[in-house]
Structure 1
Amino acid sequence: MRGGSVPTLAVGQIRRRPAAFAGLAAALFLAVAAVTLFGSLVAAQVTAPAPVARAAVAGPGLLVIAGAFGEIAVLVALFVVVNALGFTLRQQHRDLALLRTVAATPRQIRRLVRLQVTATVLAAAVPGGAAGHFAARAFLTALQRRGMAAPGLRIPGTPVPVLIALAVALLVGLAATALTVRRITRPAPAAALTDSAVGQRWTGVVRLLIGGAVLVGGGLLLRLAGTRPAGELDKAGQAALLGALVLLVAVALLGPVVARLPMAVLGAPVRALLPRVGWLADANLRGYAVRLSSAVVPVALLVGLSATMLIMTGTAERAALATGATTSVTKASDVWLRQAELGLLAGFAAVSTVNTLVALTADRRREFALLRLVGATRRQLLRMLLVEAVLTTAVGVLLGAAVAAAATGAFSRAVTGSLLPVVPGAACGWVVAGAAVLTVPGIVGTGLWAIGGRAVEEVGGERG
């Protein structure tokens, strides 16, 4: 393959798989917008005249808010990008493996993927930067209305925050590409093509080791949160929330392993209650561990972060009522901040959930066509997808709830001395309902489209 044809192939792959790259573009849009948002807030404070910058305000100040608020939001946005990028590359595994069989070198494959990622980042940069800039203006206005930012502060028109956001997105995208593309370039061409045909069924040793190390890191953060003294509840809350995010990263890395246990527990009664459709749905989810992991991780992210913030707020408020003390965790202005942060994080997780589930289901058209050729009806396939959607939601909720329980237990220990936090049942119920609303219609709705068409043509045509 000539070097000059690599850019043409990169553009061709994006046009050929728009759904996969649309999901990655949406994730990159959120990441660029998030970095631009909080970078613009920092720029507003740094570039302000001295009298305005030193004006007394209620709360910790704009720099502290932008740092503490943006830390988790930006990490979540980048987590969503890495998850979307990994899935986009897995969808191209077969095509890239085929290129290797016709003499494409590993270097050319790496260059091809880097060009795809760079093009997608550049496409998302302008709208993401604009959205982040306008969001920063709206957020600053809301802070000023509550007396938490100086009235004279203005978001500057400098392009520096957007350029930093673009550089961060490129850096994360290219670093994740270098790690993910190794699965295609390391094996021999024939072995890579075989892997793409049968699908990945297990997790590499390196990924297991990294996942284990991240899991230990999350545990250490929660230990730090649980041992904070009573006067440092704000630090305990930040450590607990960051620990929850680190544990969710570990879940993503160890997903094919950790998702098997709840799937085994939930799959048994489903097989018994629905002998045909339930058996097939359970076999599909358990037989493709990587696909199951890709589906449940966004759901776990949504449930884990949302439930953690809700339970932490409820625990802190209960402790404040019992002791009569007021901390920044329970002040009305900071409660508003946490609600805004919860909405932002939930939005990131929701976009990730919809992107991943729609792309995963759409990528199974050939599989559905084969099932139709061996006698399955469209109605049976939809029932199977409904069962899969319910099981996927349940596994994601259980994993997210486990992370939330660990994080809020550590926070509760710092606040009350007990590992049992205050759980707002109604609010957490809405979180679970929201996860179900995103997951079930996303899978079943995409399935309605994916099982359409003629089965023979789908099987004989190209996959994807």
Structure 2
Amino acid sequence: MNAMNAMNGPVPALSLGQIRRRPAAFAGLATALFLAMAAVTLFGSLVAAQLTAPEGVARAPVAGPGVLVIAAAFGEIAVLVALFVVVNALGFTLRQQHRDLALLRTVAATPRQVRRVVRAQVLGTVLLTAVPGCAAGALAARAFLAALQRRGMAAPGLHVPGTPVPMLIALGVALLVGLAATAVAVRRITRPAPAVALTEGTDGPRRIGVLRLSAGVAVLTGGALLLRLAATRPAGELDKAGQASLLGSLVLSVAVALLGPLAARAPAAVLGLPLRALFPRTGWLADANLRGHAARLSSAVVPVALLVGLSGTMLIMTSTAERVARATGAATSVTKASDIWLRQAELGLLVCFAAVSTVNTLVALTADRRREFALLRLVGATRRHLLRMLSVEALLTTAVGVLLGAAVAAAASGAFSWAVRGSVVPVVPGAGCAWVVLGAAALTVPGIVGTGLWASGGSAVESVGGARR
């Protein structure tokens, strides 16, 4: 029996085995897919409610732009963020099983067979989360439509239809994004020779690939063009400037994800110096751990940067718009009371997605370091030493993520401020931004420290030998 025939049968078993070995990573991917399908179903159901409504209901006057515009403008950013979270979670999940998949190639598995194993994992995870994700989206659509109707922003007779089309679209989008992201991510395992792929390990190559670097530069350029578009909008088009700025902050966050190992290296090096001075032993070890594993540092800080970048952009833009409205007396959809609620709901949804991404990534990332922690214990480190090291790592990770997110928020809100008040210096709500930073720390520090203490438990000898998973 040749290698192809040998591998055809065990593909489902191999896929299931990887899921059982790394439940934390796949739980994070499942959560991200759940949120993505819920978001697509939610806004798709709102569009369906408007399109299937009787003509009298559809044309009824409402306060605000109407359900279709709200679903398009609101849903555009929310769905893109949700899909970004999915791609980030999927890429992280594949990196965690890089060595196992590379080992398959050393025992005669072809690149096609490895791709089949990964596709089976993605397909199974998508199907597992499809029903609860779509059901949650449908329920959320009804609740959101009712909230709009209470505020006069939707016609009273409007209702979410029972059509399965939004759910089918959500399932199709999740499959398309998951399989496309898989095809790109798995190239790092299947393209090089098996021995080369095996030596790279879960931390990836020491240098960022040319393709990823080119994509990062292209996305960064696209984000800059979006912010230029926002900055050059006329002062009377505040709403369009705000939408372009928020979309620009998302595109810049994607660029940070692509250029993560490069983007995080400089602030990590700068911030690591005082930590080494304050904590000579644990600070040195924590700094060396983060700086020596560029892919791991990038995976940890990207969701924090996304959380801070999007939240900060939204808060600063709203404060700037309110200051301009008070000065000019002109009300826009950023300053009207009903639409302030809409912006707050959008901010809450974006924060939810980013927070889930942060927790998922950090928990799975730290849980996969059991062997590393066991080795430290075997050479004399106590759990107290590990606690100190993890605490310093968590603080450094938070600081780097906050700095990258703040840079994104500063660029996006600066472009918006230039469009509406002729100055790149926006109105910064100090209390709101402080809460964003505290929220990022509240997610990051317990996620790393708590999971690390759990992962360092049990027998160190068994963990090093691979008996304890």
Q: Same fold (TM over 0.5)?
A: yes
Cα deviation for residue 462 of structure 1 reads 5.7
Q: Find out whether 1:438 has 2:431 as its counterpart.
A: no
Q: Distance in 1 between matches of 2:291 and 2:284?
A: 11
Structure 1 residue matching 2:14: 3-state secondary structure: helix
Q: Distance in 2 between matches of 1:332 and 1:280?
A: 51
Q: Find out whether 1:317 has 2:322 as its counterpart.
A: yes
Residues matched between the structures, number: 464
Cα deviation for residue 303 of structure 1 reads 0.5
Structure 2 portions without partners, runs of 5+: 1-5
Once the two structures are superposed, the pairs formed by residues 175-194 of structure 1 within 5 Å of their partners are: 175-194=180-199
TM-score for the superposition, normalised by structure 2:
0.98
The one-letter amino acid of 2:206's match is R
Structure 1 residue matching 2:8: 3-state secondary structure: coil
Q: Which residue of 2 aligns with 1:379?
A: 384
Cα deviation for residue 449 of structure 1 reads 0.5
Cα deviation for residue 8 of structure 1 reads 2.0
Q: Which residue of 1 aligns with 2:258?
A: 253
- Deviation string for 1:384-430 (max 9, x for gaps)? 00000000000000000000000000000011001100000001100
Q: Distance in 2 between matches of 1:263 and 1:149?
A: 48
Q: Which residue of 1 aligns with 2:80?
A: 75
Q: Which residue of 1 aligns with 2:310?
A: 305
Seen in structure 2, the aligned counterparts of structure 1 residues 261 and 380 have a Cα distance that, compared at 3 Å, is same
Seen in structure 2, the aligned counterparts of structure 1 residues 197 and 304 have a Cα distance that, compared at 3 Å, is closer
Q: Is the 8 A contact 1:363 1:463 kept in 2?
A: no
The one-letter amino acid of 1:438's match is L
Q: Which residue of 2 aligns with 1:395?
A: 400
Identity %: 82
Q: Is the 8 A contact 1:286 1:292 kept in 2?
A: yes
Q: Find out whether 1:346 has 2:351 as its counterpart.
A: yes
Q: Which residue of 2 aligns with 1:124?
A: 129
Q: Distance in 1 between matches of 2:64 and 2:203?
A: 56
Q: Is the 8 A contact 2:291 2:297 kept in 1?
A: yes
Q: Distance in 1 between matches of 2:322 and 2:299?
A: 36
Q: Find out whether 1:366 has 2:364 as its counterpart.
A: no
Structure 1 portions without partners, runs of 5+: none
Q: Which residue of 2 aligns with 1:5?
A: 10
The one-letter amino acid of 2:366's match is T
Q: Distance in 2 between matches of 1:439 and 1:260?
A: 19
Q: Distance in 2 between matches of 1:248 and 1:377?
A: 38
Q: Is the 8 A contact 2:98 2:202 kept in 1?
A: no
Structure 2 residue matching 1:2: 3-state secondary structure: helix
Q: 425, 444, 448: which one pairs with 1:420?
A: 425
- Which structure 1 residue ranges, 4+ long, deviate > 4 Å from structure 2? none
Cα deviation for residue 231 of structure 1 reads 1.4
Greater alpha carbon shift after TM alignment, 222-231 vs 185-194: 185-194
Structure 1 residue matching 2:451: 3-state secondary structure: helix
Q: 333, 341, 348: which one pairs with 2:338?
A: 333
Q: Distance in 1 between matches of 2:150 and 2:264?
A: 45
Q: Which residue of 2 aligns with 1:153?
A: 158
Q: Distance in 2 between matches of 1:463 and 1:284?
A: 23
- Deviation string for 1:270-289 (max 9, x for gaps)? 11111100000000000000
Q: Which residue of 2 aligns with 1:225?
A: 230
Q: Which residue of 1 aligns with 2:60?
A: 55
Cα deviation for residue 2 of structure 1 reads 2.9
Q: 130, 133, 145: which one pairs with 2:138?
A: 133
Q: Is the 8 A contact 1:294 1:356 kept in 2?
A: yes
The one-letter amino acid of 1:351's match is V
Seen in structure 2, the aligned counterparts of structure 1 residues 48 and 197 have a Cα distance that, compared at 3 Å, is closer
Cα deviation for residue 199 of structure 1 reads 4.5
Q: 288, 292, 298: which one pairs with 2:293?
A: 288
- Deviation string for 1:115-172 (max 9, x for gaps)? 1101100111100000000000000000000000000000011110000000000000
Q: Is the 8 A contact 1:10 1:115 kept in 2?
A: yes
Q: Is the 8 A contact 2:371 2:463 kept in 1?
A: yes
Q: Which residue of 2 aligns with 1:241?
A: 246
Q: 36, 40, 44: which one pairs with 1:39?
A: 44
Q: Is the 8 A contact 2:462 2:468 kept in 1?
A: no
Cα deviation for residue 202 of structure 1 reads 2.6
Q: Is the 8 A contact 1:201 1:287 kept in 2?
A: no
Q: Is the 8 A contact 2:358 2:443 kept in 1?
A: yes
